[in-house]
Chain A
Amino acid sequence: MNRMQPSVDSTQAIAESDAIAVERTLTGDRDAYRVLVERHSDNVFRLAYRMTGNRHDAEEVVQEAFLRGYQKLGQFAARSNFGTWVYRIAANYAIDRMRQRQKEEARRATPRTEDRDGTENDPLHRVPDGAPTPERLTQSIELRKQMEQALAALSDAERTAFVMRHWEGCGIEEIAEVLKSSSNATKNTVFRAVQKLRRALQPFVETRAQARAMGTES
C-alpha cells in the first residue's frame, strides 16, 4: 500500500488544524478553506488519477471534490476528519466521471490509441531513463499496457475498492460508505478485483520474472 502513513502525532495535529480551518470557513473566512485545499489536493489528485486513469479527469475530480466540499461544509460533522471526508466526495465523483466516460467512449466508434495519460504516441514518453535493453523496454511497455487494460476491465466498484484499499490504505467501512454497500460485500469486491487482476496479469508477471532469472533483463 502506498498511502503515506504519517505519525499519530502529526495526523492528530493535521486533524485539529483542519477542524479549525473548517470552523473558520463556516463563519465566512473563505481563505481558511485555502489551507484545506492546499493541504489535501495532492492526496485527492493521487486517488483521482488512480481511479480515472488520466490526468485530465483526475484534475476535474479534484476541483469538483473541493467545490462540493465547500458547498456541503455545513453538513460536515466536526468530529470527522476533513481529509477522509473530501476523499469520499472525490471517490464518489470519480465513479460518476468514470461512468460518464464509459458512455462517451461507447458512443465514439473509433478506439482510442492514446494511453491512460494521453502520452503513448509521444516518443519522448516511451523512452524511460537509464537506457534499458530493448527486451526490457518491450516487456515493460507490454506489462504496463496489460496492467492498464486489466484495471480498465474492472467494474467501477471493483476499481474503486481496489484503489482505495490497496493503494490508498482506506478502511473497509470507508470504502463501503463510498460504494453504498455493506462491509462484507465490500470485502468481496476487493477480493473480486484482486482475483480479476491476478487472472489477467499473472502470465505476464511470471514471464517477466522468468526472463529476469535467465538474465535477458537487466
Chain B
Amino acid sequence: MKHMTEEELIAYREGVAEQGALISKHLAACEECRTELERIEAVLAALDTLPVPDAGVDYGRRMWREIAPRLAEKPGRWWHGWTEPRRLAAAGLIVALIVAAFVAGRITRPGKTSDSIANKEQVRERVLVVAVGEHLGHSESMLVELSNAAPNDPAQKEVNIATEQRRAEDLLQENRLYRQTALQEGDTGLASVLDELERVLLDVAHSPEQVTPAQLEAIQKKIAGRGILFKVRVVNKELQQRQEATKPAPAQKDATTRERNKA
C-alpha cells in the first residue's frame, strides 16, 4: 500500500487537500498513516493551547475612542487625512517654515539650491525634534508622578491613578505618531526609545483606575526595571542638543559673512 506523504496529511488536516475524500478512505484502512496524522494533530493541539489575552470587555468601545479623533469627517478621499487638525497644524507649520526658509534663502543667497534643500531638511528635523522633545517632557513628568505615587494612609486599600491613566492614553496616541515619523525619517535610535516608552504607556493606560498598593508597586517596579525614565531623559537631552545644533546662525554672523563674501 502506498502511504500518504506528510504534505498530503498536513493539507488534509488543514482542510486544503485536493483529494480529501481519497485521503479519508486511505486513512480508514491504514493504521500507519492514521498514527502519523495523530502525531501532526498532537503538535497542532499543543499550539492551540497558546493563550491569546482577552482584549477586554469594552475593547471595541475603547478602540473607537482611540481612533475617532483621528478620523476625517468623510472617508475615502485621499486628501481627507490631511484635514485632521493635528496634521493640518503640522502641515501648516512645515509649509510656513519652508516658505520662510525659501524666502530667506532668496534674499540672502540666491541660486544656491543645495543650501535650500539642506535648510528644508533642517526645518523638518527641527519640527520633529521640538515636538518629540515636548512629548518626552510630558511623558517624563507623568511617569515621575506615577513613580512617586503612594497611598496617603498605610491602611488605604486603593490608590486612584485615573489622572495618570488618562494622560498615558493621550500620550500613547502621540507616541505612536512620533515613533512612526521617526522610523520614516530613518531615526531608528529615537524610534527604539519611543517604542520602549510605548510599552510602558500601554501598561499604564491598561491599568485599572483604582489600584491596590501592591499593584501600584508592581507598576512602579516595571517603570524602574525598564529604566525608561533614564532613557527618556537621555534622549530628551540629546534632542535639546540637536535643537541647538540646527538653530539658524545669528543674524550678526550672517551679516559678517555677507560682508566677507562681498569683499
A pairs with B: yes
By a beta-carbon cutoff of 8 Å, the part of chain A in contact with chain B is: 2, 25-26, 28, 30, 33-34, 37-42, 45-46, 49-50, 55-56, 59-60, 62-63, 66-67, 70-75, 100, 103-104, 107-108, 117-118, 121-122, 124, 143-144, 147-148, 151, 165-167, 172, 187, 190-191, 194-195, 197-198, 201-202, 204-206, 208-209
A interface footprint on B1-29 (CB within 8 Å = 1, 0 otherwise): 00000110011011010000000000000
Q: How far is the CA of A59 from the CA of B175 in the complex (A)?
A: 13
Q: Can you spell out 8 A-B residue pairs with CB atoms less than 8 angstroms apart?
A: A25-B75, A40-B60, A66-B63, A104-B191, A167-B48, A172-B16, A194-B44, A198-B43
Q: Mark B67-98, 1 if CB is under 8 A from A, else 0.
A: 11011111111101100000000000000000
Does any Cβ of A come within 8 Å of B42's Cβ?
Answer: yes
Among B50-58, B116-124, B129-137, the stretch that binds chain A is B50-58
Interface segment, one of B147-155, B195-203, B229-237, B250-258: B195-203
**Complex CA–CA separation, A70 to B78 (angstroms):** 11
Q: Which residues of B contact A25 (CB under 8 A)?
A: 75
Residues of B within 8 A of A206 (CB): 39, 42
- Majority-rule SS of B interface residues: helix
Known: A70-B71, A147-B46, A166-B14. A56 touches B198 (CB 8 A): yes
Q: Which of B156-212 contact A (CB under 8 A)?
A: 176, 183, 188, 191-192, 195, 198-199, 202
Known pairs A143-B46, A151-B50, A205-B43. 10 more at Cβ < 8 A?
Answer: A2-B48, A30-B74, A34-B64, A37-B67, A40-B60, A46-B52, A70-B72, A100-B183, A107-B192, A198-B43
Q: How far is the CA of A150 from the CA of B7 in the complex (A)?
A: 19
Are A201 and B75 in contact, with the CB atoms below 8 A? Answer: no
Residues of B within 8 A of A50 (CB): 52
B80 surroundings in chain A (CB, below 8 A):
71
- Residue in B77, B195, B202 whose CB lies within 8 Å of A59: B202
Contact partners of B66 in chain A: CB under 8 A: 63
Chain A residues within 8 Å of B59, by CB: 41-42, 45
Interchain nearest-CB distance for B220 vs A (Å): 13
Chain B residues, CB < 8 A from A33: 71, 75
Query: Is the C-beta of B61 less than 8 angstroms from some C-beta in chain A?
Result: yes
For residue A32, give the distance in angstroms from its CB to the closest CB of chain B.
10
Interface residues on B, range: 35 or more
Contact partner of B70 (CB less than 8 A), chosen from A59, A67, A143, is A67
Task: Name B10's contact: one of A73, A107, A122, A194 (CB within 8 Å).
Answer: A194
| Chain A residues near B74 (CB-CB < 8 A) | 26, 28, 30
Question: Is chain A's binding surface mostly helix, strand, loop or mixed?
Answer: helix
Decide if B100 is an interface residue (CB 8 Å cutoff).
no
B191: chain A residues at CB < 8 Å are 104
Q: Which residue of A lies closest to B60 (CB)?
A: A38
Q: How many A-B residue pairs have CB under 8 A?
A: 143
Q: From B206, which residue of chain A is reached at the shortest CB distance?
A: A55
| Interfacial residues, chain B to chain A (CB-CB below 8 A) | 6-7, 10-11, 13-14, 16, 39-40, 42-44, 46-48, 50, 52-53, 55, 59-61, 63-64, 66-68, 70-78, 80-81, 176, 183, 188, 191-192, 195, 198-199, 202, 218, 222, 225
A205 touches B7 (CB 8 A): no
A11 to B48, CA, bound (A): 24
User: Is the Cβ of B10 less than 8 Å from the Cβ of A118?
Assistant: no
B230 to chain A, nearest CB (A): 15
**CB atoms of A41 and B75 under 8 A apart:** no
B16 touching A30 by the CB < 8 A rule?
A: no
Cβ contacts under 8 Å, A195 to chain B: 6-7, 10
Smallest CB–CB gap between A99 and chain B, Å? 11
B192 close to A45 (CB less than 8 A)? no
**In the complex, how many angstroms separate the beta carbon of B176 from the nearest chain A beta carbon?**
6
**Contact for B63 among A63, A104, A144, CB less than 8 A:** A63
Residues from chain A with a CB closer than 8 A to the CB of B64 are 34, 37-38, 41
- Do A187 and B11 touch across chains, with their CB atoms under 8 A apart? yes
Residues of chain B within 8 A (CB-CB) of A202 are: 39, 42-43
A197: B residues at CB distance < 8 A: 43-44, 47
Contacts of A205 in B (CB 8 A): 42-43, 46
Q: Is the CB of B192 within 8 A of A49?
A: no
CA distance A185 to B63 in the complex (A): 35
- A50–B55 Cα distance when bound, in Å, is 13
Taking a contact as CB atoms under 8 Å apart, the answer to whether B55 and A42 are in contact is yes
Give the complex CA separation of A157 and B14 in angstroms. Answer: 17
